[in-house]
Structure 1
Amino acid sequence: MNRTLYTLLFHLGLPLIALRLWLRARKAPAYAQRIGERFARGLPMMQQGGIWVHAVSVGESIAAAPMVRALLARYPHLPLTITCMTPTGSERIRSMFANEPRVQHCYLPYDFPWAAARFLDHVRPKIGVIMETELWPNHIHQCAKRGIPTVLANARLSERSARGYAKFARLTRPMLAEMSLIAVQTETEAQRFRDLGAHPECVQVTGSIKFDLTVDPQLLSRAARQRADWQTLDRPVWIAASTHAGEDEVVLSAHRQVLAHHPDALLILVPRHPERFDSVYELVRQQGFTGVRRSSGEPVTRETAVLVGDTMGELLFLYALADIAFVGGSLVPNGGHNLLEPAALDKPVLSGPHLFNFLEIAALLRNAGALKESSDAVGLAAAVQGLIEQPDQAKAMADAGLAVIKANQGALSKLLDGIGGLLR
């Protein structure tokens, strides 16, 4: 398949795209809003001539935040346009940069050549920075036609994904050859990109910028005050964050077992997607737990067993409230989520076994003794209970996680240097 055939198939798939939007809007009404932006229609007024950053959803938006802030500081005369594909990503971008007038935002149009061209003509960026592995052939080609350098930042490419791209070499090879810089996390991934057709001189191993996160001291102070207000300073608090369908039942079962030994334990349960907030809260009630929704503003009391984190933009704060952190998307084969956020907040980190999206990071934390994995409710409960009853072990895990983060920082600086070399 070449780009011409790909584009034809993409156009033929328009009814499926519309159906997918409609189905998603039934669960998450925000998908029915701003549809014009997805076709480069009705784009908001924007300053031109700046830096365009694309982060597909919430995880990539969070990973991009330190880079965006560094770019704002390094290029104070340039606007930054941040695009994404999901309402949750859009909400996170807006909340993170609400007070930064140079940051502008819209959805990235679908990968039709005419939509990509209209978007680029509207924004006229000096450079495009795409987070991780969100590769769109027509967007990249339209950038190349206009002489706009494109960077793949914090790039990841699993063996499975590489095999998939290799099946469409006539599409993949020219697309990668048009990229100006591919900043990858590991040498293994670098070689995969080279094998697929990227110019070797354009592929650089920079490491993961996810290690270059910083924690606002005010966040920790606010969390300490919140726990004091809730009178939970002497209660064991653990969080299960970014959970997916099929995990909440396991987490609640584990919490029930923890409560059998520590009746005052509090669980903060944070579903990954907002369309599941209501159903997860109902599940908590159905299973007989005394629950409170974070969005309600109701205080946590001695009787509260579960706090449902149903707000956007608060995950780091909710992590900071906890003593122990479980990262979801890992008890089901979803591939896991960012393990470094709780580690950076000095928390011992727990997960399930499905971590294929974070293999290298998981290995670093596991080998350092900063990560414990469980595959079911019994194992998760035992891990949580063990850390509650052995605070020295919990502290050792937390310290090991922080050490891993500090030892692997520096990727952001390398990436910024690479971007700077293309911004002429």
Structure 2
Amino acid sequence: MSSDTPARPTLLYSLYCGASALIAPFAWRKVAAKLRNYGLPEKRVRERLGHASLPRPSGRLIWFHAASVGESLSVLTLIKRMGEQAPEAEFLITSGTPTSAELIAKRMPPRCRHQFPPLDTAAAVDRFLAHWRPDLGVFVESELWPQMLVRARKGGCPLVLLNARLSDRSVEGWKKRPETARYILDQFDLLVTQNQKTAANLQAMGAAAGRIRPGSNLKAASAPLPVDPDSLGKVRGNIGARPVWVASSTHEGEEEIVLQAHKLLLKQHPDLCLLLAPRHPERGSTVETLVKDAGLSCARRSKGVMPGTATQVYLADTLGEVGTWYALCPLVFLGGSLREIGGHNPFEPMQAGAAVITGTGHYNFAETYAELTAAGAAAEVRSAADLADQVAQWLEQPETFQAARDAAGQFISRQSDQLDKTVDALLALLPARRP
């Protein structure tokens, strides 16, 4: 089939639509229970069925759909910039997790609102689209729901896949279903990728080459995380002149390695304080036990305890304060990388002026880390001993550490131009206001 010929619905897509209708009651029960357990009101829970809890604003509406916290927050700077370029435009963000909704609400750009996305069933999607009538739909990273895409496009809404990222496993899976892959990708008017590798993969999966535009990682151009000056001042005052390092976004199986590294560091730097911020704050009690089992003194932020002059580990098990910790200390180990977890966004600490240490399990950011380590903006470690050596080097060699921070800052500064190009490309797809 010629790549110029519009792709048609496939048997697999039809089977998916049928299966989604069958499992919809079970899926609804599961997602509704999760939202209710979080304490959300019923009208917000019912957004997953396509029932809007807010009115549609007048004017042209640009809809962004993202999977979770990182993807949702990554578009806020882009929305702000688009809003400045198109002052009459309104914005809608959909994301599936209560945590993302909570954080978005705190940082919402002007003329923006949040809803939970409809389940990917015909009834829920049609109800959602009938109410919101988006003029442009932007899907972030790899959150592709087939019926949501097909039905939005059929309704006349131009679609963009933004910050596209696909794992090798996902690419191989789609290549086994080439006609369906092409049909889904054919719904997009524009596909903006994080890197050249993803651009090549999308084309190999059947996306039209003329619709693919390689870009950079959207998260690299996001605004810095918020900083609470009061909290920063209090914690800094309590720690005093002691040296500090930060271990952020750590997961199960990583804290033990970090704590082992800290014990090694304390032999040469007995007054060193570790600020440990687990990725999931609800694991605070578990992590506190790990700290005590390691024989280290601990102050736990969620209990309102401040670090003292002898506190060896300050356990920052709270949500939304990471920007404050990066402002406190620019020497950051970023978790999700000492195990094969995929890594986390290195741009957030770098935007705060930090240099980054990572493990080797950062496959979601492999190309980014390759560039950062080559530039000297990041360092890679494999073990507790490696981690301790790298932290010690940056503590003991301030010129080397400053050079790493400078390299990180230069990388971030190069992303602003790319963001402006993305804004222009999206606004070019925004149609004239519908009657």
TM superposition score normalised by structure 1: 0.90
Instruction: Report how far residue 161 of structure 1 moved.
Output: 2.1
Structure 1 stretch displaced more, 156-165 or 250-259:
156-165
Residues 422/31 of structure 1: CA separation in 2 closer, same or farther (3 Å cut): same
Instruction: Report how far residue 37 of structure 1 moved.
Output: 2.1
Instruction: Report how far residue 30 of structure 1 moved.
Output: 5.7
Counting matched residue pairs gives 419
Residues 22/408 of structure 1: CA separation in 2 closer, same or farther (3 Å cut): closer
Q: Is residue 270 from structure 1 mapped to residue 281 from structure 2 by the alignment?
A: no
Q: Give unmatched runs, 5+ long, in structure 2.
A: 1-10
Query: Which one of 5, 12, 16 corresponds to residue 2 of structure 1?
Result: 12
Instruction: Report how far residue 101 of structure 1 moved.
Output: 5.4
Which residue is equivalent to 1:337? 344
Distance 1:182 1:142 in 2: 18
Secondary structure in 1 matching 2:75: helix
Which residue is equivalent to 1:230? 238
CA RMSD of aligned residues (A): 2.6
Query: Which one of 73, 78, 89 corresponds to residue 78 of structure 1?
Result: 89
Instruction: Report how far residue 177 of structure 1 moved.
Output: 0.6
Q: Is residue 142 from structure 1 mapped to residue 151 from structure 2 by the alignment?
A: yes
Is the contact made by 2:82 and 2:423 (CA closer than 8 Å) also made in structure 1?
yes
Secondary structure in 1 matching 2:364: helix
Q: Which amino acid aligns with 2:51?
A: R
Query: Which one of 98, 102, 106 corresponds to residue 91 of structure 1?
Result: 102
Q: Identity percentage over the alignment?
A: 35
Instruction: Report how far residue 84 of structure 1 moved.
Output: 0.7
Which residue is equivalent to 2:161? 152
Is the contact made by 1:30 and 1:87 (CA closer than 8 Å) also made in structure 2?
no
Matches within 5 A, 1:211-222: 211-215=220-224, 219=227
Matches within 5 A, 1:246-325: 246-325=253-332
Distance 1:307 1:116 in 2: 45
Residues 201/40 of structure 1: CA separation in 2 closer, same or farther (3 Å cut): same
Instruction: Report how far residue 207 of structure 1 moved.
Output: 2.1
Instruction: Report how far residue 47 of structure 1 moved.
Output: 2.3
> 1:108-131, CA deviations, whole angstroms, 9 ceiling, x for partnerless residues?
122112211111122121111111
Structure 1 stretch displaced more, 269-278 or 116-125:
269-278
Secondary structure in 2 matching 1:13: helix
Q: Which amino acid aligns with 1:88?
A: T
Instruction: Report how far residue 226 of structure 1 moved.
Output: 4.1
Distance 1:360 1:220 in 2: 32
Q: Give unmatched runs, 5+ long, in structure 1.
A: none
Instruction: Report how far residue 358 of structure 1 moved.
Output: 0.5
Q: Which amino acid aligns with 1:80?
A: F
Which residue is equivalent to 2:7? none
TM superposition score normalised by structure 2: 0.88
Q: Which amino acid aligns with 1:260?
A: K
Structure 1 stretch displaced more, 107-116 or 70-79:
70-79
Distance 2:285 2:46 in 1: 29
Distance 2:34 2:249 in 1: 19
> 1:136-176, CA deviations, whole angstroms, 9 ceiling, x for partnerless residues?
11111111111101111111223332112222323221111
Distance 1:32 1:191 in 2: 44
Distance 2:71 2:229 in 1: 27
Which residue is equivalent to 1:187? 196
Secondary structure in 2 matching 1:163: helix
Q: Which amino acid aligns with 2:27?
A: I
> 1:82-123, CA deviations, whole angstroms, 9 ceiling, x for partnerless residues?
1111122122211212xx552211111221122111111221
Query: Which one of 365, 374, 378 corresponds to residue 367 of structure 1?
Result: 374
Q: Which amino acid aligns with 2:405?
A: A
